[in-house]
Structures are given as structure tokens and as C-alpha cells.
Structure 1
Amino acid sequence: MADGTGRILRGDHLGLITARFLGADAVVVPVTVGSALERSGGFGRVVRTKVGSPFVIAGMEEATRDGAKLIVGYEANGGFLLGSDVALANGTLPALPTRDAMLPIVATLAAAKRAGLSLADLVASLDAGEMASDRLPETPSEKSSAFLAKLTEDAFRSEFLRPVGTVESVDSRDGVRMVLSGNRTIHFRASGNAPELRCYAEAKTADEAQDLVRWGLSAAADAMRG
């Protein structure tokens, strides 16, 4: 899906807009989804999981057991999962706990019409920042696993990240995701289906996010060689 300037909208932007449009009170997402969900989403409960729709589905089932009424999930690729029936003006949208590509497109268009905004302005109103990602191919799992284990150690992590900032919080549910000063994140994880280390970054601008990814992969390669 693209806005009027031709820019492709990020999947997690579509997910956030759709969750708001449906009135979700619980949202389940993998750790690779942007942090705007917590920062500006306004939801009663946000659950983060490992990467993969089975983990998101399990998180939605847990939210149901805990009493949430309208539960949704989404992934950074744009797939949207509906864990509850949703009552709409013209009928009920039944639960569909598997990745759906059409609902986030239709709901985002409807949200833009309701708000009287272009798609570009609707996304800008999220103040969601920018994300970038890349990978270090031909990285054996034993090397990436050893590097990720070191990143969980406070002393190594602080020294490793010294060139780019200080760490404010750490999430090690799937790889190691670190929130840095200046509302930035950097996340390293081993691929589940290829011998590669992946790096994701989030920052205020696209250039900052891309620079953080480039630095992260270069620094990780140096650390694994050492």
C-alpha cells in the first residue's frame, strides 16, 4: 500500500492504524514491530512475543484467558490477526487468527477518510519514527549465538554500544533488542531459517535508522571476528 507520494507504508504502521480503528484493547506483536505501539498507541495492554505468527497467536490466546475483550495482533510485514469478533456499524467482523493482508488496507483507508486526512498525513500523525533492517549473511549459528549471549552481559553491552549511545532497556525474548538514548532502538537476532545475523534499528529519521543498522552489522562482524 502506498500513499499519494508513492511511498510504501510500513506494515507496522498499517497494523497500528487498524488496531486503533477497530478499538482494540489488547495488541500482540513480535519484538520487531516499532515502539510507536507503546509510545502513542493508547491501548490497555501490549504484549510482545518472539518473531513468528504462532507466537503472536499464542499471545492472543493468553490475552483472551486474561479477560481482554477485543484482541488483535500484527507483524512488521503487514499481516494482521484478529483474535476477537468485532461489531461494526454494518455487521460483525468474525475473528480470523491468521495473517490477513486485506483488513489493514481497508481499515487504513477507512481511518484516513474518517479523519479527513491523506494517507501520508495519517501516518505522520502517528509520530512513529523510521525503521531499517539488514543482515550479515554466512554467519554460522554458533557465532551469532555467542555474540548474542555476550550482548546480554552488562559490561560487554555497554562497551559495545558506547559509540552510538547508552542503553535504557533490554529485551532478550528473541535475540537482543536494546532501547538507546534519543528514542532509538537496535535489535540483533539470528535468523530462524538461514545462517545470518539480522539487525533492526529504529530512529527519528530514515537516515539515522539506516546508519544505525550499518554500524551495528559492521560492529557485530568485528566482535565475532575477535
Structure 2
Amino acid sequence: MPVFMCVCESVSNIAGRLKPTKTESLLPAISYLYCCLSLSPAHCTDRAVSMLLSNSGLMDQLQTVFSSSSSSSFSAPSLSPSACPPLALLCCCHLLLSSLITLQRVHSTQVHKSITWSLDTAVQRLLTQKRNTDSLLLISYLRLLQALLDTDLASEVVCLTSGPGLVGLRPLGIEDGALYPLGSRGAQCLSIALSGLLLQKHELLLRASVNCLSSLLGFLQRKSPATGIKQRDGERGSE
């Protein structure tokens, strides 16, 4: 086993055993794991992603961070600052998860434990809270959404939760069913949010927005061609 793989395995095991409150240790561990996946040679990523996805402790850590973030998004006044994950940690967790999603799809890696993630909360944050959200956090959200859209929101790594704000009330209509769990309303909200981000002067944020919008249009064209054409024409009309 290559040395970096041994180190990666050791770091992932340590990260899986840390208490969620030990953010000063958890942050560099998550950051290192993301760098390992991003910088590993192509022939090594299969083994690396398999090792990380089989680490239930690590997956539990990611779930804890996302659950804390989701709870604090719309009820922050009731939570102490210590209950909310640091911005840098949340960014790194988003980026690590996006890499796991992409590489799991490439290698068809077995998934032992999925992570639950609120699509509704993510879209609402981009739509209504983007002005009050740090640019790097927005970029990490967009990168994760892009990875999910590229898998048609059907990655084995993530179990997405939706809500009436995206798909309306049940029973679902034909279009909402085809685009589930994003739904037609959710697709429109996400498109509006991304279009607004295209006006930003932050280069990395602009690039992430363009890439995510491209993935959204691809998703719509694959799942609901009529919606995809309307959305694409709408984007052209706004240029």
C-alpha cells in the first residue's frame, strides 16, 4: 500500500473517532482527506474512495456536521455558537462529500452508509440567504449541488430530503415526479438563485455558479426535456 494511502487511512480512522466538538482536530483531518482524493493519481482513487466510504465513523462525523448546519440555518437564535459547525469545517465537509459522490459514481464503489442531506435547506439558503452567507461557503454548496445534479440527484452516497417548498404537496404532478426530489418549483428557485450569483464579482463564486447552472440544465434536459428547453431559453433571454 502506498505511503499516502496508509496516512489517509490513519487520518480517516482518527477523524471517525473524534468527538464532533473537537473541531480544531476534525478540520485538518477532513481537509487532508479531501486533498487526498483531489490530488491522488487516477489509479489510486478507487481504493481511496472505497476506504473512506467504508469508514462508518467518518460518515457519522459528516452527518453530524450537516445535521448541525441544517438545524442552525433557520433557527440560529435558539442555538449557541458552539452548536454550529465552523464555516471552514462545513466547507471542507461539503467538498469532501462532493468528491466522494463523484468518485463513487466513476468507480461504482460500494456504499455502506448514506448521508442524509436537506436539498430543501440548501436551495433556500442559496435563494434567500446568499447575501448573508460567506462566499467560500456558497462555493462549497454549489460544488456539492453540482456533484449531485451530475448524478441526477440519485447518488448512493447521499439520501436527499425534500419538502413542499420544492415539490409541492402530494400526490406529485408528472413534472414534479420526473424532477424529484428537486421538483419543478425547486428547479425554478435554484435557477433564480444561480442567475443571481452570476452577477457576483468573486471569480471562484462565478465559476462555481456557472458550473452548477450547467449541471442543472443537464439534469433538466435528461429528466424533463420540455422543462430543460424552457429553462435554457429563459437563461438565454436573460443574458
Q: TM-score band (shorter)?
A: under 0.3
TM-score (norm 2): 0.27
Structure with the higher helix share, 1 or 2: 2
